[in-house]
Chains A and B, each alone.
Chain A
Amino acid sequence: NAGVTQTPKFRILKIGQSMTLQCTQDMNHNYMYWYRQDPGMGLKLIYYSVGAGITDKGEVPNGYNVSRSTTEDFPLRLELAAPSQTSVYFCASSYSKTFNTDTQYFGPGTRLTVL
């Protein structure tokens, strides 16, 4: 029972490089989310998706892009990495047939450092 998986677990980028953080869930959840967590802080929503082909911006979308071509996958793309993007990135998913009763299930996180 894999749940939500994220790769890689750790990554160091140089300023200006690009990368894609992978997220896959095997629970047939329709909602998926990307968060970042800066040291000592809570989670801030970057992007979310309510189903395949549908994405929307969260609180801090600048510098990131997403796509949702399948129900299972929700990759997060960083273009032109900056030191301000050093953070831990969490992917999460939820199933919401009855909207707000369903919790999110989180992946283990990706620790990204931009130098």
Chain B
Amino acid sequence: AQKITQTQPGMFVQEKEAVTLDCTYDTSDPSYGLFWYKQPSSGEMIFLIYQGSYDQQNATEGRYSLNFQKARKSANLVISASQLGDSAMYFCAMRVQGTGNQFYFGTGTSLTVIP
């Protein structure tokens, strides 16, 4: 079975500080992709960053980086220099080749950036 686990229901971070949002995954398929999405209070889903299971380097996109530890099956999102606009729900998701291109989502982490 495929599963994504986000164990932090809520997180707080001081503005300009870095924060790590945890994500662990479970799949026996060797070919998969890991994604992070941001959902602000307005409700839309915004793609942030992607990591492939065969990628050797950790993905980075501006202030976002993905700390991929394959042996531990973790794909933590690191946001550097937090901004007030980063306050939102963050979802980790996995796409597994052997399951017909389904995406599996975690339950999300609510991030609040404190001025």
Tell me, yes or no, whether B101 is within 8 Å of chain A by CB.
yes
Q: How close is B24's CB to chain A, nearest CB, in angstroms? A: 14
Q: What's the Cα separation between A106 and B47 when bound, in Å?
A: 9
**What are 12 of the A-B contact pairs (CB < 8 Å)?**
A35-B105, A41-B108, A42-B91, A45-B103, A48-B101, A58-B102, A90-B45, A101-B50, A101-B52, A104-B35, A104-B103, A108-B44
Tell me, yes or no, whether B106 is within 8 Å of chain A by CB.
yes
Measured as residues with beta carbon below 8 angstroms from the partner, the interface class of chain B is 20 to 34
Tell me, yes or no, whether A84 is within 8 Å of chain B by CB.
no
Q: What's the Cα separation between A104 and B44 when bound, in Å?
A: 12
- Dominant secondary structure of chain A at its interface with chain B: strand
Tell me, yes or no, whether B32 is within 8 Å of chain A by CB.
yes
CB nearest neighbor in A for B33: A100
Measured as residues with beta carbon below 8 angstroms from the partner, the interface class of chain A is 20 to 34
Residues of A within 8 A of B97 (CB): 99-100
Partner of B102, one of A42, A48, A99: A48
Give A residues with C-beta under 8 Å from B. Answer: 31, 33, 35, 41-45, 48, 50, 56, 58, 88, 90, 92, 94, 96, 99-101, 103-106, 108-109
Which 9 pairs between the two chains have the least Cβ-Cβ distance?
A100-B33, A106-B45, A42-B105, A43-B105, A103-B47, A42-B107, A100-B95, A42-B108, A109-B43
CB nearest neighbor in A for B55: A101
Cβ of A41 and Cβ of B107 under 8 Å apart?
yes
Chain B 85-97 against A: per-residue CB contact (8 Å), 1 yes, 0 no? 0000001000111
Tell me, yes or no, whether B31 is within 8 Å of chain A by CB.
yes
Q: How close is B5's CB to chain A, nearest CB, in angstroms? A: 11
